[in-house]
Structures are given as structure tokens and as C-alpha cells.
Amino acid sequence: MLSKNMESALNAQIKIEAESSQVYLAMASFAETQGFEGVTSFMYEHSDEERQHMLKFVKYINERGGHAVISELSKPPVEYGSLKEMFQKLFEHEIKVSKSINDLVHISLQEQDYATHNFLQWYVAEQIEEEALARTILDKINLIGDDKGGLYLFDRDVQAITVQPATNAPSE
């Protein structure tokens, strides 16, 4: 059974995950209006992935005797000055999500809620991948600069950009 404190913290994460899905969706729409088909597909796919992350929290809370609450969402930005700016904002967003997940892990350990701690480990690993992926993409855009040909090739190749998961990372 979840404590009220843990339930409340997990419900706050539902909102963060839902807003992450919205952020990626808004970025997909922006990229689509700019003609970046590869970036658009990448963002739509990640929007769906973030929604699945949210649903895992909903199901977990309910399965542990809590009540998952679906709340109102903040409107994400809909315009960006450039792809570089968009991916910079995405990287910053993923760092914020990682901090939130880490805060949940901290609460679970304080409360000796080892089931929730175990559940959250998947998210810890996922955020390592998400941050690394956003950083990799941002690094590539920084290398390209304003070269239109480079941006064209980047757009075509963005779906192939992956980061290997840190499967053997030391635990703290």
C-alpha cells in the first residue's frame, strides 16, 4: 500500500510525464510546419513513448491501492527560433524530468517503500537514455551549425540516432 505522501508524489509525476508527451507533440507540430519530416516522426514517436510512461505510473498507483489522478496540463511552447533552440529546450526538459524521478527515488527510500523504489529504477535508467539522446542530437546540431545541407541530412538521419543504455552502470 502506498503512503499518502508517496501517492501524492507519484501523482505529480503523472502530470510531468503527460506534459512531456505534450512537449514532444508540440515540437513535432513545429518541426512538421518547418518541413523537417525526420524530426517530426522522431518527436511523434517520443510523444507516444512519454504517454506510455505516464500510463505506467497510473497503473502502478492504482495497483498499489492508491488513486491515480489525471490533472490539468500546462501548455507547452509551440514556436522555436530554430531546431537548435528546440532541442536545447528538450534537453533542459529531460534534465528536469530526471530530477523529478530522482526526487521520487529519494522519497521511496526515506519511506522504505522498496516496491516503489524498484518500480522507479526503470525510469532512472530511461532518463539516463533520454538525456544522452537529447545531448547527442544537440551535439550534432551544434556541429552542423546553420548549414542547410547539413540540416537536411540531419533531418533524414535523426531517426537512426540512438544511445546505448547504461546497462552496467554502478548503482548509488
CA proximity to 36, closest of 83, 90, 91: 83
106 marked as part of a ligand binding site: no
Sign of CA dihedral 164, 170, 171, 172: negative
CB-CB contact of 144 with 157 (8 Å): no
53 marked as part of a ligand binding site: yes
Please give the C-alpha separations between residue 36 and each of 26, 82, 92, in angstroms, as whole numbers. 14, 11, 21
172 marked as part of a ligand binding site: no
Q: What letter would DSSP give residue 154?
A: H
32 marked as part of a ligand binding site: no
50 marked as part of a ligand binding site: yes
Return binding residues: 17, 50, 53, 94, 127
Annotated binding site for Fe cation: 17, 50, 53, 94, 127
